[in-house]
Structures are given as structure tokens and as C-alpha cells.
Structure 1
Amino acid sequence: MSQRSVSLPMYDFPEVHESTRLIVSAIVAALQGLGEDAVLDEPNSSMHAELMRYWRNDNTLLSQSCGLPFIEDLHRYVDVLGTPTWAGISDERGWYRTVIVVREALPAMSAAELEGMQPVISNPQSLSGWCSLGCVLAEVTTTPSFVKPYIAAERHTGSLQLLQDGKADFASIDPGTFQLLQRHRPSLTQGLRIIGRGPLVPATPIHLSKLRKASLGEMKTAMSEIFARENLRHAFAEIGMSGFAPMENDDYTMIGTLVQRAESVLPRR
């Protein structure tokens, strides 16, 4: 097998790209030290379907995805190492809640006041963008007709842009992404009001291919050491990450129950 890709695409915005490269380079070096033929990579596309093909590919050694596609598909190809912790967002286990945002021009102050409004999701296989939003709606209604059929924007940045353009009314956004964009692209987050939080869920998993030489234990130890390095502190801080929480595949199985709840009021199509 040729050199195998290593990437962290979930929060690799241009504004923090150099910091992401520094972190990924350290992970590549650790994998090489464990006998893997690893190379720094950047996926060619941020579109969900393209990323799914990338994550499934045997040439992808280590990457980061979303918890929902992991339990529905990617668990056949990869094993979870853990997840970054987020300063001021996640708990010590690496679990967090999405932010539910609405345009400030609208009167809604809670999910119960979203009736008749237009939701936007990132994509229907997003734990933060679709599933968490559906779970919040399920707390206040039992019928899909409570809100308009969702618009799919592909990415969280797309959802926020539709809110800014007045083409959608509310959304659920990954909290790490929202914090990062508040700092680096305030034009996407201003004029929005946080009216709630999604269910507590394990954050975006970093995973290792099932086709590997390195053991999960060795790589979890290496990841914890990398995330604690003094010379990478600025890089992690620029993105908003504060540490690494080792996890198991089974930590994500609870998402299945959330999917059923979300489907009841915000059905995928």
C-alpha cells in the first residue's frame, strides 16, 4: 500500500489552516514512528459525499469525521481514537451540545416558539446540523408539520449564510465551529441569537483505519501527548481546542436513539 493520508478536515478553515497543518504534521510523525507510511493530506472537497468517499478509502489512515456517519457507515472502516476537547464548550470527556440559533429579527426565544419557521441543516447525516436540531424540536412537538421542511446547505457555514441572507430562520451549529467563526468570521454569526442547546453528545471523532500497523492504544497515547505539547499550544488555542479525550467506538452508539427521536419530527429525505 502506498503512502496513506492523515488529515483533520472538520475545522480546517483557511483562517486556521497553518495551525491545522502543524497539528497534522505532528500526528504524521507519530504514526511514522509506529511503523505507518503516513503523509499529511488535505481532502480535495468539503462536500459531505466526497468526504464520505475519502473516509472510507483504504488510503486514508487517520482523519476526523462526524459521529453520525461513524455509527451509520464508517464504523466498518475505522476505529475511534478520541476527540478534541474544546475550551469553554465540551466537558472533560469530550462531550458537548450544539447551539440552536435564530435570526435576531425574529421573535422566537425558545424552540417552542419556532412553529411555522424555516429550518436549515448542514446535511441529513450531520449529528450537529440535523440530528441535534431534530431532538430539540422533539422536545416541543410530535409532528413534522410544526416547522417548514428543512433546507440543506451542505456545511455549517452554508447554514449560517442562509440565515444571514434571510432565506432560513433557525439552525443547529456545531459549537466548536460556531466559536471559531465568531472569532474569525463574525459576519456569519452576528445578528443571530442562541435560543437553546442540543442534547449532550460525544464530539467529532478522530479515527484510525482498521487496516493499520499501529495499535489503538499506542495511537491514543500518542494523540494525548501531541495535544499536550507546549510547542503546539498556540495552534490548538487558535482553533479553540484544549486537549484530547480518548474514546471508544461504543461511546457513539447512543446516537442511534437520538436519530430515531429526530426522525419523528424532522424526517430525513
Structure 2
Amino acid sequence: MQWIAALPMYNIAPALADDWRALLGAVLGRISPWLDARGDTVRIVDPGADLTAFWLRDDVLLSQTCGYPLLHALSGRVQLVATPAFDAPGCERGGYRSVLVAGAQAGASSLEACRGLRAVYNDEDSNSGMNLFRHAVAPLTSGGRFFSSATKSGGHLASLRAIAVERSADVAAIDCVTLAFVRAHRPELAAGIREIGVTASAPALPFIASKRVPKGLVDALAAALSDVIAQDEALAGRLRLRGVLRFTEADYACIDRYEREAIELGYPRLA
């Protein structure tokens, strides 16, 4: 079998992209006896813009996705390998939150004060940028509306740029790990925002594998991730990784609960 692998979720700067590739390379190196024994090969690839299509490929040995597609587009179609434990403000016990941020121009110091402002979110299938944001806003809504507009940006960096640089939006929810990386690597995007709150917590973005990957190899991948993070402290520090946890898909069920709670409050979509 010829496998492919990619870790696409936090490549917000060239140095970080290099570090995630280094992590992936070290993990694949540790499982090379498994691959050699099977006559398999693996290569690190660029997953392209359509991440869902990439994650659903049956030759994906290792990648990382968001918890929302894990429970929706990918449900029953991929295997959960491990969940990263990040070292960033808002991360506890393998979980993470989104940080609610507003532009300096908005003058808002709380989410309640954002009524009638312009929201921006990264994508409909994002837990951090949409689902947790919707859940936070839902108790404040009336008639299913809260913002004057809610615009899709295509990514957290684009949302921050819309708020801090272009000033075409006022408020967003940004994955706290992304925000920590932005503060270190893209300070120009952090300079024009203020933190006004945090969302509920959910399990961090999971590492996944194709359903075709044997269970023993999935376990070996999880062990290799843990070993690399423990043994390369410098790399783990730059990637803000403490280790990995072996969560199950059931541990991610709160993501669907947050969606149901928003819908039950009459707020099925950001608006």
C-alpha cells in the first residue's frame, strides 16, 4: 500500500509549517518497521484546498481534522488516532476553547455588546469558528438574529485580517491554539483585536487515519506521536504540544450537543 500523510490545521506561518512537517516526518520514521514489514510506503503531501476530500481518501495514513467534520462529514468513515494536548491559554486536559475577539474599531468589551455588529467566521463545518461561536451567541438572540451580518472568510487568519486590518468585520471566534500561534508568528493580526470572552470547551482537533489503516498501525501511530512529543522537547515547545490522549468519538459528543442547544434556542445558524 502507498500511503500519504499531512498535518494541515495549524500551518499559519512558514516556520510552523516546517515544524508540523518535522513532527510528521519523525512519527513516520518511528513506524517505518511496521511499513517495511508490510511492504508499504508513505509520503508527506500537500492536501490541497478541499480538506474534506483529502480526509476521506482511503490512502491517508495520518492527518488532522476538526471535531465538527469528525462527527458529520467524516463520521464512520475515518479512524480516530489520538487527540493532542496543547499548551496554550484555553486548553485543559486535551480540550480547547475559542476566544471571542472584537476589533478595536468596534468598541465592544463583551459578547453582549456585539449585538448588531458584523460577525465573521471561517467555515460552516468549523467547530471553533462557527459551532462554538453559535453556541455562545444563542442565549443572547431574539428571533434568530444577533448580528447585522455574518460572513464566511474561509479561515481563521482571514477572519482576523477582516477584523484587524481590513476592518470589514467586527467580531469572531478564533481557536485558542491558532490565536496563540498568531500572537507569536503573525503579531500584525493580533494587534488590532481585543479578547472579549471565551466559548465552551471541546476536545482538541483530532489526528485521524483512513479506515483502511490496520488497528495495530493506528496504535503505533498514536504511540509514535506520544514518543516524538516527549523526546523532542524543543519541537514540542514550538508546536505547543504536551502530549496526546486516546479519546474516542464519543468524547467529541459535546460538539453535537452545542449544536442542538443553539438550535433549541432558535438559533440554527450565525445571523
Structures share a fold, TM > 0.5? yes
Task: Name the residue aligned to 1:220.
Answer: 222
Aligned residues: 263
- Kept after mapping to 2: 8 A contact 1:31/1:38: no
Deviations 1:95-154 (A, max 9, x none): 111100001222211111111011100001000000011011013224332212310011
How far off is 1:257 after superposition? 1.3
How far off is 1:42 after superposition? 3.1
Superposed structure 1 runs of 4+ greater than 6 Å apart: none
- Kept after mapping to 2: 8 A contact 1:132/1:262: no
Task: Name the residue aligned to 2:209.
Answer: 208
Give the counterpart letter for 1:223 in structure 2. Answer: L
Counterparts of 1:87-236 in structure 2, within 5 Å, are: 87-89=87-89, 91=91, 93-164=93-164, 165-215=166-216, 216-229=218-231, 232-236=232-236
Could you tell me how far apart the structure 2 residues matched to 1:18 and 1:217 are? Answer: 25
- Kept after mapping to 2: 8 A contact 1:202/1:251: yes
Could you tell me how far apart the structure 2 residues matched to 1:4 and 1:148 are? Answer: 46
Task: Name the residue aligned to 1:58.
Answer: 58
How far off is 1:203 after superposition? 0.8
Give the counterpart letter for 2:207 in structure 1. Answer: I
How far off is 1:28 after superposition? 1.2
Could you tell me how far apart the structure 1 residues matched to 2:92 and 2:29 are? Answer: 26
Question: Does 2:269 correspond to 1:267?
Answer: yes
- Kept after mapping to 2: 8 A contact 1:82/1:220: yes
TM-score (norm 2): 0.90
Q: Provide structure 2 residue ranges, at least 5 long, that are not aligned to the other structure.
A: none
- Kept after mapping to 2: 8 A contact 1:122/1:155: yes
**RMSD (Å), alpha carbons:** 2.0
Q: Structure 1 268/43 Cα, relative in aligned 2: closer, same or farther at 3 Å?
A: farther
Task: Name the residue aligned to 2:44.
Answer: 41
Match of 2:85, SS state, is strand
Give the counterpart letter for 2:179 in structure 1. Answer: F
Identity among equivalent positions (%) equals 27
TM-score (norm 1): 0.90
How far off is 1:84 after superposition? 1.7
Q: Structure 1 170/92 Cα, relative in aligned 2: closer, same or farther at 3 Å?
A: closer
Q: Structure 1 224/197 Cα, relative in aligned 2: closer, same or farther at 3 Å?
A: same
Give the counterpart letter for 2:6 in structure 1. Answer: S
Q: Structure 1 208/38 Cα, relative in aligned 2: closer, same or farther at 3 Å?
A: farther
Could you tell me how far apart the structure 2 residues matched to 1:68 and 1:137 are? Answer: 18
Match of 2:125, SS state, is coil
Could you tell me how far apart the structure 2 residues matched to 1:249 and 1:113 are? Answer: 36
How far off is 1:38 after superposition? 4.5
How far off is 1:190 after superposition? 0.9
Could you tell me how far apart the structure 1 residues matched to 2:270 and 2:32 are? Answer: 41
Could you tell me how far apart the structure 2 residues matched to 1:26 and 1:168 are? Answer: 40
